[in-house]
Amino acid sequence: MKRKLPSLKVCVLLDIIGCLSYVMLPFGPIWAVLSGIIFYVLFGRKFGMLGGIFSSLEELFPGIDLIPTFTLAWLIRKYEIEQLRLKQYP
């Protein structure tokens, strides 16, 4: 089954929510768990699992919360798709 690339707008929005999660203190740990689950659902398989774990840990620890995890994952996945496309149709 071929996974569809999530929307860049959705990924940027999720990163913004992640950055704002520390403004509303009780939301931070809840968002950490939700972001891991959402990451897995959006990107799936091994990439989604590893990224979901990283996303959850990133949201739990203050200071590294500014990494745009979803947007970086979108860029990585987009690059992978383009590489596959170039291999198939040189």
Tens of pLDDT, residue by residue over 25-75, are 778 888 889 999 999 999 988 999 999 999 888 888 877 777 899 999 999
Higher pLDDT residue, 62 or 7?
Answer: 7
Kindly state the DSSP code that residue 24 receives in the 8-state scheme.
S
Amino acid identity for residue 38 in this structure: I
Give the pLDDT confidence score for residue 49 in this predicted structure: 92
The residue ranges of every structural domain in the chain are 8-88
Whole-number Å distance between alpha carbons of 9 and 60: 23
Global pTM?
0.86
Give the pLDDT confidence score for residue 2 in this predicted structure: 61
Question: Where are the alpha helices (H) located in the chain, listed in sequence order?
Answer: 8-20, 27-43, 45-60, 69-88
Confidence grade of residue 1 (pLDDT, cut at 50, 70, 90): very low
